[in-house]
Structure 1
């Protein structure tokens, strides 16, 4: 993975989480892993097409996802229902859109597919290795998992 393909997502996750959820993220040490996730985690899957091809999965621990949805909806949320899924999917959309803009500023034109929400136990992995960037915040952990075809 090239840094110029990873950095736009790191920049975007930090910017959107700060702007939308008023959260400062602390980035952990990136690593390579299988595309498997905890059973109760909330996943927002986005496809990348255009000059780059691949997939990005934003993974949030269940409690973190509840806290993010609560911040987005400006009220306490106790379960992730259809409205919560829509809210957190929109967060993924904002992150992807921001990343696409960062790429475009470097003359790399990509499109992002519509976000697809699922929980970890229902995620049908492809068996690919992904580059995982973990983050910590005051409300919990999340990660962005990136696969770019080279």
Structure 2
């Protein structure tokens, strides 16, 4: 299967996963290409993907974005140490759901444990990434990055 077909499958699966996992209205904007370094401003989670392809799924957001999602899921604010913990768990839920979706299409993937990054961070180590901007109902943005190293 071509790399562009994998990218299309994963981006479509990511959109489906986000709308399944996150219980707020989402406005998914058109994907764009981005090159390194990618600058994270506040908070993100990185999940490694291995199997049919090798790459990374990064969900970049803010504390406000995490709080909006947490309020919708649990009816309470996500504060203090729970911010980083819930960010990692959100990454696990989205990536795990993505793997289930892609398995139905014949693409087997496994995921790594989440790596949560807080503060201003630059991401290197990829040639190009597909960035999927997603606006939450309160206007807060999530940016989902998909980096692909190589077809397996």
After TM superposition, the runs of 4+ consecutive aligned structure 1 residues lying more than 3 A away are 69-73
The answer to whether the Cα contact below 8 Å between 2:126 and 2:149 also exists between their aligned partners in 1 is: no
The answer to whether the Cα contact below 8 Å between 2:63 and 2:83 also exists between their aligned partners in 1 is: no
The answer to whether the Cα contact below 8 Å between 1:44 and 1:117 also exists between their aligned partners in 2 is: yes
The answer to whether the Cα contact below 8 Å between 1:68 and 1:88 also exists between their aligned partners in 2 is: no
Could you tell me which residue of structure 2 aligns to residue 102 of structure 1?
A: 101
The answer to whether the Cα contact below 8 Å between 1:39 and 1:120 also exists between their aligned partners in 2 is: yes
Greater share of residues in strand = 2
Q: Deviations over 1:50-93 (max 9, x none)?
A: 1110001011133222322344443234x4x3222111211110
Q: Take 2:67 and 2:39, find their aligned partners in 1: how far apart are those partners?
A: 17
Q: How many residues align?
A: 143
- Cα root mean square deviation, aligned: 1.9
Return 5+ residue gaps in structure 1 as ranges. none
The TM-score normalised by the length of structure 1 is 0.84
Could you tell me which residue of structure 2 aligns to residue 32 of structure 1?
A: 33
1:7 offset after TM fit, Å? Answer: 1.2
1:124 offset after TM fit, Å? Answer: 4.1
